[in-house]
């Protein structure tokens, strides 16, 4: 099959590309990526020259470019990772999130309709459900939890989800949606919590923690997420939505302290900064549906996954060192320098 992966030079997208090429070498992977700040072509460099891989630099909001690519490649499956995804950036500049995450998704689905693609899979987030109270550990997000967003980012993703389901009902487009919890692992952009803390600790720099660090997230190892998407796009019935969670709930402050412990760094590096606007308290996913329907369960414990992740960042400084200069450094200072 020909599989288009949008946003394939980003964190989860790139991991998915590597997973698909290893798991299904008979398929051809076509990556579309705009290469914004979070897209890194160096991540995919080892794949250059492979007969079952092609990279195309394009914006999913560019209707003509997308049409040309679909006409050339004749995809069987389209997996949409392309998205603006950082909550803080959405608070600073909501419009670009609406353009990419909503309009871009509609352009992709229109192309899927014209070219009779057999599956469009939308990669979404648990943030579309809003948050859960810290004092109710018995509560979890299910696929039937009402959408209740907190940020321009999550609102744009919820909008894209609703639009995807509308295309299924109105046009019969064979779609599926996955809503995942927080991912971690190789190739994650350094402004996200885990790589940011690892890199700052390595340099003995302050580790900025929002508020008191008591916000809880469900952490999912990225390879487990890739396995789930592969199962959904190949085996799930059109129109289905699946929650993909890691059963690894942890407070942000506990993750930071764990990273410091592994790196043998002092907790005095922790610096508490002004909390994020509208900061969600707790995310927790119930992945029972995907387990019952498709047999998926997360395989990587957080302890094992975080050790693998820290080891990777220690051994791949040549990947992340160029990223933490220039534009990224300017943004970092803006977000954390005076808080």
Secondary structure (DSSP) of 189-230:
-TTSHHHHHHHHHHTT--EEEETTS--EEEEEEHHHHHHHHH
The answer to whether 280 and 214 have CB atoms below 8 angstroms apart is no
- What is the average per-residue pLDDT within 276-303? 90
Residues paired with 271 in a beta bridge:
208
| Catalytic sites, residue numbers | 126-127, 153
**What pTM did the predictor assign?**
0.91
The answer to whether 310 and 262 have CB atoms below 8 angstroms apart is yes
Name the 3-class secondary structure at 237: coil
Confidence of residue 284 (pLDDT cuts 50, 70, 90): confident
pLDDT per residue as tens digits for the range 230-270: 999 999 999 999 999 988 899 999 999 999 999 999 999 99
Q: Is the pLDDT of residue 300 over 90?
A: yes
**CA-to-CA dists, residue 132 to 6, 116, 149, 332, angstroms:** 31, 39, 12, 28
Instruction: Work out the mean pLDDT of the chain and round it to a whole number.
Output: 91
Rounded-to-integer distance, Cα 149 and Cα 230, Å: 27
Q: Is the pLDDT of residue 332 over 60?
A: no
pLDDT per residue as tens digits for the range 165-214: 999 999 999 999 999 999 999 999 888 899 999 999 999 999 999 998 99
pLDDT at 336: 46
pLDDT at 272: 92
Q: Is the pLDDT of residue 308 over 80?
A: yes
Confidence of residue 334 (pLDDT cuts 50, 70, 90): low
The answer to whether 208 and 193 have CB atoms below 8 angstroms apart is no
**CA-to-CA dists, residue 181 to 37, 266, 298, angstroms:** 22, 29, 12
pLDDT at 88: 65
């Amino acid at each position: 099959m020909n599989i288009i992966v949008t946003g394939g030079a980003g964190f989860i997208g790139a991991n998915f590309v590597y997973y698909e090429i290893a798991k299904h070498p008979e398929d051809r992977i076509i990556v579309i990526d705009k290469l914004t700040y979070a897209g890194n072509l160096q991540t995919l460099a080892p794949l250059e020259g492979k007969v079952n891989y092609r990279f195309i630099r394009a914006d999913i909001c560019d209707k003509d470019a997308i049409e040309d690519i679909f006409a050339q490649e004749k995809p069987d499956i389209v997996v949409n990772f392309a998205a603006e995804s950082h909550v803080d950036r959405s608070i600073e500049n909501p419009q670009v999130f609406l353009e990419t995450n909503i309009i871009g998704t509609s352009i992709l689905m229109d192309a899927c309709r014209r070219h009779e693609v057999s599956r469009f899979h939308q990669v979404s987030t648990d943030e579309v459900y809003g948050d859960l109270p810290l004092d109710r550990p018995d509560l979890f997000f299910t696929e039937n939890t009402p959408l209740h967003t907190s940020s321009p980012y999550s609102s744009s993703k919820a909008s894209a989800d609703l639009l995807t389901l509308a295309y299924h009902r109105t046009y019969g487009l064979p779609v599926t949606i996955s809503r995942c919890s927080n991912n971690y692992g190789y190739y994650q952009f350094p402004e996200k919590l885990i790589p940011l803390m690892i890199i700052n600790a390595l340099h003995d720099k302050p580790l900025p923690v929002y508020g008191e660090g008591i916000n809880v997230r469900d952490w999912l190892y990225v390879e487990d997420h890739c396995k789930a998407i592969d199962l959904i796009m190949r085996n799930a019935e059109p129109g289905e939505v699946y929650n993909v969670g890691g059963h690894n709930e942890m407070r942000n402050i506990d993750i930071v302290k764990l990273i410091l412990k592994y790196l043998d760094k002092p907790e005095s590096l922790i610096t508490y900064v002004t909390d994020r606007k509208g900061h969600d308290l707790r995310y927790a996913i119930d992945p029972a549906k995907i387990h019952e329907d498709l047999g998926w369960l997360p395989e990587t414990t957080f302890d094992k996954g975080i050790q693998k992740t820290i080891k990777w960042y220690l051994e791949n400084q040549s990947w992340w060192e160029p990223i933490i200069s220039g534009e990224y450094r300017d943004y970092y200072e803006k977000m954390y320098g005076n808080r």
